[in-house]
Structure formats: C-alpha cells, structure tokens
C-alpha cells in the first residue's frame, strides 16, 4: 500500500498509528499487509506477542538485508512513494535498498494479474538458467513482450540495483 491521500482519512488513527505521526513520515504511509492486518485495520489490537500484520516501509528499512540478493515486490504500484527534495522517493523500494537488498524488482503502476504471473514465472526460470538477475529480468520482459506487445503488461516492472 501507499497512502498518498492520508489527509482525507477522518479517523484519529491510520493503521493503528496516530494520524499526525503517519502524516509526518512517508515511510509510515507505505508498506505491506500480511495475515492479521485485517484485525489491525478494524481497530482491534493484536494480542501479546502477536504481529499486527503490517510491515511499514519504516520497519522494512530497519531490517538487515545485506545478505539479500533480490527482493521482488510483484504487486501493483510497489515502486510508489513520496518525492522528497534531496532524498528522492521515500517508500518501500527505498526502505529495502537502505536495509541492504542488492536488487529490487517493483512495479510503477497497477499491473495485470495474468501478465505479472507470466513475467515472474519467466524471470525465475531464466534466473535459474543463467544466474544473472539483470539479464534474467531483461530476457523475461523481452519474452513476455512477444506475447503482450503493450508495455502495460511488461513495462510496469523495473529493476533497481544497489551499488
């Protein structure tokens, strides 16, 4: 998720956090929803030692992913974030990069479920064959482009490589 219209929320809390805190930090307005998040979104507090089901970009940024070669964010609009002067885009992609992930695949817009499934299957197949993330990704996109000439299906996904 990425909340760019957070100011429209009428409640005092957003995802269980104080609205004012979320408004000030774009890394709290983007993240991933997992099992249990539906309870948190309903305002129910998770039990002792239970996860709230929400991984914010802020939390992701604090993970140690320096041994991680690849993070794939294959859902819609996972590259979104808030542009900050002098900082670039703050969102999920930036958090995983700060956490140490060497390569991040993400999408720029709402994607086709079928196209995404085919692209990811092609990518992982190529990755196993050639063991080169950028080249496997390039080849997968080119192969999918033969089936779906429109960039809508294969162009949404980009690969960000950290140095």
Tens of pLDDT, residue by residue over 92-121, are 999 999 999 999 999 999 998 999 999 999
Helix (H, G, I), strand (E, B) or coil at 79: coil
Q: How confident is the model at residue 44 (pLDDT cuts 50, 70, 90)?
A: confident
Rounded percentage of the chain residues whose pLDDT exceeds 90: 52
Q: How high is the pLDDT of residue 157? A: 95
Q: Please, which residues bridge with residue 32 across strands?
A: 55
E-assigned strands of the chain? 13-14, 17-18, 31-33, 54-56, 71-72, 81-84, 88-91, 103-107, 157-161
Q: How high is the pLDDT of residue 155? A: 93
Statement: the pTM of the whole predicted model exceeds 0.95: no
């Amino acid at each position: 998720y990425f909340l760019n219209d957070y100011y429209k929320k009428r409640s005092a809390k957003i995802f269980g956090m104080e609205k004012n805190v979320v408004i000030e930090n774009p890394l709290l307005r983007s993240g991933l929803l997992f099992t249990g998040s539906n309870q948190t979104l309903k305002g129910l507090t998770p039990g002792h030692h239970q996860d709230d089901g929400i991984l914010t970009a802020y939390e992701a940024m604090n993970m140690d992913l320096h041994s991680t070669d690849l993070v794939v964010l294959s859902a819609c609009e996972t590259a979104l974030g808030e542009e900050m002067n002098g900082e670039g885009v703050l969102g999920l992609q930036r958090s995983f990069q700060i956490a140490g992930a060497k390569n991040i695949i993400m999408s720029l817009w709402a994607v086709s479920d079928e196209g995404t499934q085919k692209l990811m299957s092609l990518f992982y197949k190529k990755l196993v064959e050639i063991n080169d993330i950028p080249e496997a990704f390039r080849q997968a996109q080119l192969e999918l482009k033969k089936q779906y000439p429109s960039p809508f299906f294969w162009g949404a996904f980009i690969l960000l490589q950290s140095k």
